[in-house]
Amino acid sequence: MDIHSVDMNQKQQQLKTVSHQTIDILKVMAYTEDDLKKELETKEYEYGFYTDIESDTFPVGLNEEIVRAISKKKEEPEWMTEWRLEAFKVWVAMEEPEWANVKYEKPNFQDISYYSAPNKKPKYDSIDDVDPELLDTFKRLGISLDEQKKLAGVAVDIVMDSVSVATTFKKTLAEKGIIFCSISEAIKEHSELVKKYIGSVVPTKDNFYAALNSAVFSDGSFCYIPKGVRCPMELSTYFRINQAGTGQFERTLVIADEGSYVSYLEGCTAPSRDENQLHAAVVELIALDDAEIKYSTVQNWYPGNAEGKGGVFNFVTKRGICEKNAKISWTQVETGSAVTWKYPSCVLKGDNSVGEFYSIAVTNNYQQADTGTKMIHLGKNTKSTIISKGISAGKSQNSYRGLVQINSRAKNARNFSQCDSLLMGNDCGAHTFPYIEAKNKTAQIEHEATTSKIGEDQIFYCNQRGIDTEKAIALIVNGFSKEVLNKLPMEFAVEAQKLLEISLEGSVG
């Protein structure tokens, strides 16, 4: 802690200015190229601060005792403890997957602390009760609670080191019958809902990291939208890994009951550290008949420094199930993490259901990303759209891996996929691994992929009109990503756009 505190102070100073800028931008919404330039001057990972909050951390290692202890700590009912232990048994028998197109030193799972919580963890009724130091953290994150309240009316659930610390706007939501709380609270207070749906979309046996998460998840968000309710505001979760040597395993469960609608945002940051941190989350979405869920992610975990040292391993399982006429839409902007391994998927079970996936993945320096989606068409007249944009710079590797599966009963299923890659520099790689499986003659599937670089003529065109090269590239990258950026809620889109610029800063050769 001491080692960090010296240079951290400096950084914090610097960062404060940045985050104020962020807020200003949010207010005015006029974000010009000059603002960008100013921001680019602070080249460091801007969320790389470490908050000095005493936290309650478990000893490193994982065994049945730890699983029991986590469950006990969370004051969970018996069935939950059993469920975790079951998952743990499954996990022990599993092997870490190796098929992804990424290379990294495998984390030692006995070297991680599986539970870390900010120590003074009271139950807050209002924002004013929250530890001022924590609030300051959020301010620096650029998601100051008050600001958010005033500006966007976003209800935020903040998960720090795997434990949910604050849920805002709870009362307003409760009036509509919406439940938005931490998953541990939900396990206690809405156990019938949790019991019914947890593990129904991502079973504990699904994969290595899902099993690990099921055994040790410490917190996460839970959301239930009742029948026919249209959630009046964007719901948002913010994840942060703070403590050193911890892994973050959060679990998100979103249930949209018949005819309801919800838009859900998720953001992530972590402090700069030399060692790799592990993040293995599970997100389950359940869209019942006629419901719609829009799930947006801006992932900005610490990507490691320019030499590829440190950074977060991001191994996430995200999946949603659509019942009749339901719709799930995944939007993601992936700029962080040393290694990303993430495939938000849709199981289109009900007739006429719709799945969408919009993604921008940016890799720079030594980052590696293997990301994509799975669209499983089971019902009749199901539709899916995949738009994936990959931008690779520096020495990074960026892969799209996706599956479109049309089962024999999925009459008139329709899929459109487009994967575009942009390469900047000659040391990076862009890869596409689409899997297309059709078992029904009425299926219509289109898949397109292109790879290109920014054309010299395009830059020349901009230069001619008085736009310098750096700005021209920002402009072109923005245009390249527009289709996806447009799908994000406005406040997020601005942040995402900024992240894109920062991630690619200095990569122009």
Partner 1 sequence: MELKEKLLSSFIALENQVDIDSQVHDIRSEAIKNFEVMGFPSKKMEAWKYTSLNKVLKHDYSIFPKKEAALEFKDVKNYFLQDIDTYKIIFVDGKYSSHLSETTHDKIDVCLMSSALTHEKYKPVIDAYFNKVAVEDGMTSLNTAFSREGAYIHIPKHKLADKPIEIIHFSTSNEAAIMLQPRNLIVVDENAHVQIVERHQSLASHPVFTNSVTEIFVDKRAYVDYYKIQNDNEEASLVDNTFIEQQQESYCAVHTFSFGGDIIRNNLNFYQKGERIDSVLNGVTILEGKQHVDHNTLVNHIEPNCESHQDYKGIFDEKSTGVFNGKIIVEQEAQKTNAFQSNNNILLSDNATINSKPQLEIFADDVKCSHGCTIGQLDDAALFYMRSRGIAEKEARALLMYAFANNVLENVKIPQLKSRINKLIARKLGVSLGFDL
Minimum distance, C-beta of residue 154 to partner 1, in the bound complex (Å): 39
Q: Which residue, 171 or 441, has its beta carbon nearer to partner 1?
A: 441
Q: Which residues contact 63 (CB under 8 A, 6 or more apart)?
A: none
Minimum distance, C-beta of residue 455 to partner 1, in the bound complex (Å): 10
N-to-C CA span, the chain = 38
Burial status of residue 94 (CB atoms within 10 A of its CB: 0-12, 13-18, 19 or more): middle
Q: Which residues contact 136 (CB under 8 A, 6 or more apart)?
A: 51
Dist CA 315 CA 211 (whole Å): 12
Q: Which amino acid is at 472?
A: A
Q: Which residue, 187 or 454, has its beta carbon nearer to partner 1?
A: 454
Residue 115 near residue 248 (C-beta atoms within 8 A)? no
Binding region for partner 1 (CB under 8 A): 99, 406, 408, 421, 423-453
Q: Which residue, 193 or 449, has its beta carbon nearer to partner 1?
A: 449
Minimum distance, C-beta of residue 406 to partner 1, in the bound complex (Å): 8
Helix (H, G, I), strand (E, B) or coil at 479: helix
Minimum distance, C-beta of residue 376 to partner 1, in the bound complex (Å): 14
Minimum distance, C-beta of residue 253 to partner 1, in the bound complex (Å): 32
Q: Which residue, 333 or 423, has its beta carbon nearer to partner 1?
A: 423
Sign of CA dihedral 38, 334, 268, 385: positive
| Residue with the two structure tokens 């839970």 | 222
Minimum distance, C-beta of residue 97 to partner 1, in the bound complex (Å): 13
Using CA atoms, how far residue 18 sits from 11, 25, 104, 116, 134, in Å, is 11, 11, 32, 28, 18
Q: Which residue, 57 or 440, has its beta carbon nearer to partner 1?
A: 440
Any idea what DSSP says for residue 245? Answer: T
Q: Which residue, 191 or 407, has its beta carbon nearer to partner 1?
A: 407
Dist CA 280 CA 107 (whole Å): 12
| Residue with the two structure tokens 């979405």 | 285
Q: Which residue, 126 or 444, has its beta carbon nearer to partner 1?
A: 444
Q: Which residue, 310 or 390, has its beta carbon nearer to partner 1?
A: 390
134 C-beta neighbours (distance < 10 Å), count: 20
Comparing C-alpha atoms, which of 273, 267, 13, 293 is closest to residue 158?
267
Minimum distance, C-beta of residue 419 to partner 1, in the bound complex (Å): 9
Comparing C-alpha atoms, which of 314, 162, 322 is closest to residue 252?
162
Minimum distance, C-beta of residue 67 to partner 1, in the bound complex (Å): 31
Tokens of residue 429, six digits: 């790689």
Q: Which residue, 8 or 393, has its beta carbon nearer to partner 1?
A: 393
Q: Which amino acid is at 471?
A: K
Q: Which residue, 287 or 423, has its beta carbon nearer to partner 1?
A: 423
Comparing C-alpha atoms, which of 384, 380, 353, 376 is closest to residue 442?
380
Q: Which residue, 349 or 447, has its beta carbon nearer to partner 1?
A: 447
Any idea what DSSP says for residue 263? Answer: E
Minimum distance, C-beta of residue 408 to partner 1, in the bound complex (Å): 6
Dist CA 325 CA 151 (whole Å): 33
418 C-beta neighbours (distance < 10 Å), count: 15
Rg (CA), the chain: 22
Q: List beta partners, residue 261.
A: 230, 292
Minimum distance, C-beta of residue 368 to partner 1, in the bound complex (Å): 14
Q: What is the DSSP string of 9-56?
A: HHHHHHHHHHHHHHHHHHHH----HHHHHHHHT--S-TT-------EE
Minimum distance, C-beta of residue 372 to partner 1, in the bound complex (Å): 12
Q: Which residue, 203 or 429, has its beta carbon nearer to partner 1?
A: 429
Minimum distance, C-beta of residue 313 to partner 1, in the bound complex (Å): 23
